[in-house]
Structure 1
């Protein structure tokens, strides 16, 4: 079990944040900037859940116009600002994304999708088939065309979370599970009970990722967060700029938006500063089953080599997996929960939590301070889901 962090816990806390992943870290960072005294509690280490199993995607390219894209565009700006203050270990790379279409039907759909995004402020640049290799020389021949998204970027997620937490000034309590949310006689939050004692505060932020639903239940409310498993392949170190952007096929966008529980896979190929390529992404709802899926890995390898034939002779050194915190309408739950005064949520981002973390943190900090939010928070209301009969309200 991780040791309890030695940082001093203030006698008077303004908020307790549950979860030391990148979303919890961003909440702590912006709360700290707003002058709030905050403690972050996690039953494991920093980035020990979904964050540590992520690829570090900061994407606008896969989001259709609407609330999530608005959140992503705000986060894109905030990540650029953070990159100026975070140390190099965070590995912020404004590499851009390239989405390719295998045939004219896919390209027509991608063109319509990009047109809607442009109207919302996304920089999406169409490339004909004969220009794709200008950006990615090793792409497979025969593709119909694609779109370049200069706003897409990448970070090293565990390092980003750790650096945000350090910069936040928050007290950090690791290896400490929250067993209850404490409330007063009126039902308002007054802190949390952990395996090592009580922490008192007038606000609690549920940034527990995939376990956000269980944490909400401990607070007496219904939030239907479910785990959605995904695998990533890691190759041997390769020459720099073999793959220059975050590259994926157009069907990845449909997989992100799908609510299917079945295994879905569409290759997302990207380089890392250390040399290995990361190849994702699969999606399936199988609970917290950690069994290695050879079928998922086989699909990823086949789809990656279809995009980049040069990878056919490259070794995959390892694979890892994690669980995305899925909500049925594909939008995160962010902000105050009117059912329990003082309870706030920042979870359910599915595979976009790393990218959406800064805007989420800014929204949560504004709510904690009673300030004007940076964008309309209503689509992310935590109480928008109807509890099943017999479940917690």
Structure 2
């Protein structure tokens, strides 16, 4: 097999973003995936690009950098590939976070105030103003926060567009090829990737396997604490325009940052370009168990109707589940593995991978090529407490 400067393992949106940024920086890149590109976690995502669910700190800074980068990157790809290949259904729709009780109103207001202090556009609105933003919201809303910066895109289209750019620049995307481990040279550094089709020689490998990143890291001899965290989503049939923003209940932030293994559900509702409404979300540490749990779907539906009564009686088109890559401290793992020169990780984004992908790819390219980083990479380092095994 031909030599590549970098092999990216995983053709989801994070791996695709890393491959795109590396190829833009001049590296020859090969992307491997045991399945079809964007067929795993990315295909199960809702396409959210959020700042609304992140408190002050490193992940918020990465999210803001990614929110700024996405429209720039898409414009560059439209110029390079043409509009037909670079249409990802970008929609800067904004988000609305609501509190439906006095108990949740105060924490939401405090959270938004802390975000405003670091520059996030978080506009606290009255129940009447929330109803203007979302006419079908329950009248039980006590207060709400409007986040104009929140956006959405179609995640599979985003990943395939990024991969199209890699191919356009001479890189390869190889579907149906499993990465089984790495080869080391005489100096102990990565010299290739062992695959189901033989050894692919390279100078570096990026572990962008999402929920399977822990398994690949272990196979490479450098295990990390990244686990799959299961989630499920309901999809309604096509409707007239019913939901105008990404809308979620204030308890969503607590569910995102929780480390509990049991089922947690919080109300998250948004429409798609096709007219369907996506209803989430759930989180559960169950390994790679793909069982569809009817009781969880019922809970999602019940909470959705409580927030948007208009959805009562609306037909459900389908339900699907997926796995998010979960790191114990809820921060992505981005950077070099200190135990194995040439091994890099870009994983652990949990449910924020689509939103964080643009900045993650840029950061990996900067680190691999030794360039100054556009955000502080230190908080995401691989050798931080709790990540190395």
Q: SS at 1:187's partner residue?
A: coil
The DSSP-based 3-state class of the residue aligned with 1:203 is strand
Which residue pairs with 1:64 in the alignment?
55
Q: Equivalent residue for 1:290?
A: 290
- 2: CA distance, partners of 1:69 / 1:386: 21
In structure 2, C-alpha distance between the alignment counterparts of 1:386 and 1:236, rounded to whole Å: 43
Check if 1:77 corresponds to 2:68: yes
Q: Aligned residue pairs: how many?
A: 379
**Aligned partners of 2:55 and 2:115 also within 8 Å:** yes
Equivalent residue for 2:360?
A: 360
Asked if the contact 2:3–2:200 (Cα under 8 Å) also holds between the matched residues in 1, the reply is no
Is 1:229 aligned with 2:230? yes
Does structure 1 residue 114 correspond to structure 2 residue 112?
Answer: yes
Runs (4+) of structure 1 exceeding 4 A deviation are none
Mean Cα deviation higher: 377-386 or 225-234: 377-386
Does the 8 Å CA contact 1:91/1:273 hold for their aligned counterparts? yes
**1:22 Cα deviation after fit:** 0.2
Partner of 2:24: 33
User: What is the CA deviation profile of residues 113-146 of structure 1, one whole-angstrom value per residue up to 9, with x for unaligned ones?
Assistant: 0111112221100101121111000101121010
1:212 matched residue in structure 2: 213
Specify the SS of the correspondent of 2:216: helix
Distance in 2 (CA, whole Å) between partners of 1:95 and 1:202 is: 41
Instruction: Determine if the alignment matches structure 1 residue 43 to structure 2 residue 34.
Output: yes
The question of 1:180 aligning with 2:171 is answered no
- Determine the C-alpha separation between the residues in 2 that align with 1:362 and 1:89: 21
Unaligned runs of 5+ in 2: none
Distance in 2 (alpha carbons) for counterparts of 1:97 and 1:292: 28
Looking at structure 2, the residues matched to 321 and 120 of structure 1 have their Cα atoms a distance apart, in angstroms, of 34
d(CA) in 1 for partners of 2:65 and 2:263?
31
8 Å CA contact 2:19–2:163 kept in 1: the answer is yes
Aligned pairs for 1:292-307 (under 5 A) are 292-307=292-307
CA contact (8 A) 2:329 2:386 kept: no
Q: In 1, Cα distance between the equivalents of 2:288 and 2:385?
A: 22
8 Å Cα contact 2:65-2:359 kept in structure 1: yes
Cα distance change, pair 293–272 in 1 and its aligned pair in 2 (3 A): same
Distance 2:363 2:386 in 1: 23
Q: 1:363 to 1:237 in 2, by over 3 A?
A: same
Q: Secondary structure at the match of 1:375?
A: coil
Q: Alpha carbon RMSD of aligned pairs, Å? A: 1.3
Aligned to 1:4: none
1:12 deviation in Å? Answer: 3.8
Aligned to 1:343: 343
Q: Is the 8 A contact 2:328 2:386 kept in 1?
A: no
How far has the Cα of 1:386 moved from its partner?
A: 4.8
CA contact (8 A) 2:231 2:283 kept: yes
- 1:152 is aligned to 150
CA distance in 2, matches of 1:139, 1:305: 10
Q: Secondary structure at the match of 1:20?
A: coil
Where does structure 1 lack aligned partners over 5 or more consecutive residues?
Answer: 1-8
CA contact (8 A) 1:223 1:383 kept: no
Where 1:384 maps in the other structure, the secondary structure is: coil
1:5 aligned residue: none
Greater shift in the superposed pair: 77-86 or 356-365:
77-86
Equivalent-residue separation in structure 1 for 2:386 and 2:289 (angstroms)? 27
Q: CA deviation at 1:16?
A: 0.4
Distance across 2 between alignment mates of 1:307 and 1:353: 26
Using the TM superposition, give the Cα deviation of residue 104 of structure 1 relative to its aligned residue in structure 2, in angstroms.
Answer: 2.4
Q: CA deviation at 1:254?
A: 0.5
TM-aligned CA deviation for residue 186 of structure 1: 2.6
Please tell me whether the aligned partners of residues 43 and 174 of structure 1 are also in contact (alpha carbons under 8 angstroms).
Answer: yes
| Correspondence for 1:132 | 130
Q: Is the 8 A contact 2:97 2:250 kept in 1?
A: yes
1:28 CA displacement: 0.7
Give the Å deviation of 1:222: 2.2
Deviations 1:156-215 (A, max 9, x none): 111100001101232111100011211113321111011112111111000010010011
Instruction: For residue 313 of structure 1, report the CA deviation from its aligned partner.
Output: 1.9
TM-score by length of 1: 0.94
The SS at the match of 1:90 is: coil
